[in-house]
Amino acid sequence: MNGAEMTRSGGAESGAGARGARETANMAGDAFWRPRLVPAASAGARPEPAASGARVEFRGVSVSYGGKQALAEVSLDVPPGSVFAFIGPSGCGKTTLLRCVNRLNDFVRGFAITGGVFRDGEDVYSLSRSEDVRRLRRGTGMIFQKPNPLPMSVMENMTMPYLEHVKSSAAEARERAVDCLRAAGLYDEVANRLNAPAAALSGGQQQRLCIARVLMLPSRLLLMDEPCSALDPISTFKIEELLSSLKGERTVVMVTHNMEQARRVSDHTAFFLNGRLVEAGDTYTLFSRPREEATERYVTGRM
């Protein structure tokens, strides 16, 4: 880490509506938010690809909420351009670690972190200016467990965030939107409903719309928190196809409870239990020849 180790604390965002609106816009803004640092006691047709996937590193990351520990001393490397799955039982710290990457945990009252979270060598918790945090989030796509389409048409969902952050004509934005909808396997299903409300789509279609919206911006990192947990097998398959096609262009870090999905899609897998990283490695080896007994019990359904 650069300089002395710090404990970083976050406060709850006032107004759930404002927070939800910001998350819905894929964390591109948040100008109203400013971090607080205190000294530590201890340490298809495709849109044009991003240049390459981002590199993510966790170094001795420990997280607590109101003094209750959620993660303990997690160190992990996410190779650029890979799909990396976080697995483990509910409450083991998977989502907490995922949300450290784009600093969403800072909105949670009582949040504190020690250690380092690095994106392409930059400690994301060393960013103190709101504009730097906006830059971090603009370069990070986020897909939540529950689809969060904006309250507007399908096409406006695609073009509005893009036109806010990229200098482009409306015609160019619409052309890019079609490419991204095709990449997400959705265009053929909504081609005659582009001006209809996005809320009228099925749950699986809404989730693929949110993924297509993320693809509009040239983010090199995509974070996914159980993106297929409520979807039917067909929608799940289409999302998994898309994730496979993104390898090399974008780094994808996903939380999943679906062991078969982790096997099918991910290059690397990390298993968490009780706030600790138990084991991490290439997916085939972790599932077929796990080093730890706890990992074997979990991936075979005996935990």
The answer as to whether 144 is a domain residue is yes
The answer as to whether 1 is a domain residue is no
The answer as to whether 118 is a domain residue is yes
Could you report the per-residue pLDDT of 10-34, keeping only the tens digit for each? Answer: 543 334 443 444 444 444 433 323 3
pLDDT at 22: 40
Give pTM, 2 decimals. Answer: 0.81
Could you report the per-residue pLDDT of 56-108, keeping only the tens digit for each? Answer: 999 999 999 999 999 999 999 999 999 999 999 999 999 999 999 999 999 99
The answer as to whether 212 is a domain residue is yes
pLDDT at 303: 77
Q: How many domains does the chain have?
A: 1
The average pLDDT across 212-223 equals: 91
Work out the percent of the chain whose per-residue pLDDT is above 90: 64
In this structure, what CATH number is given to the domain that contains residue 180?
Answer: 3.40.50.300
Residue 149 has pLDDT above 90, yes or no: yes
Residue indicated by tokens 């938010």: 33
CB-based burial of residue 129 (10 Å sphere; 0-12 exposed, 13-18 middle, 19+ buried)?
exposed
Average pLDDT, the chain: 84
The residue segments making up the domain with residue 140 are: 6-299
How far apart, in whole angstroms, are the C-alpha atoms of residue 143 and residue 166? 20
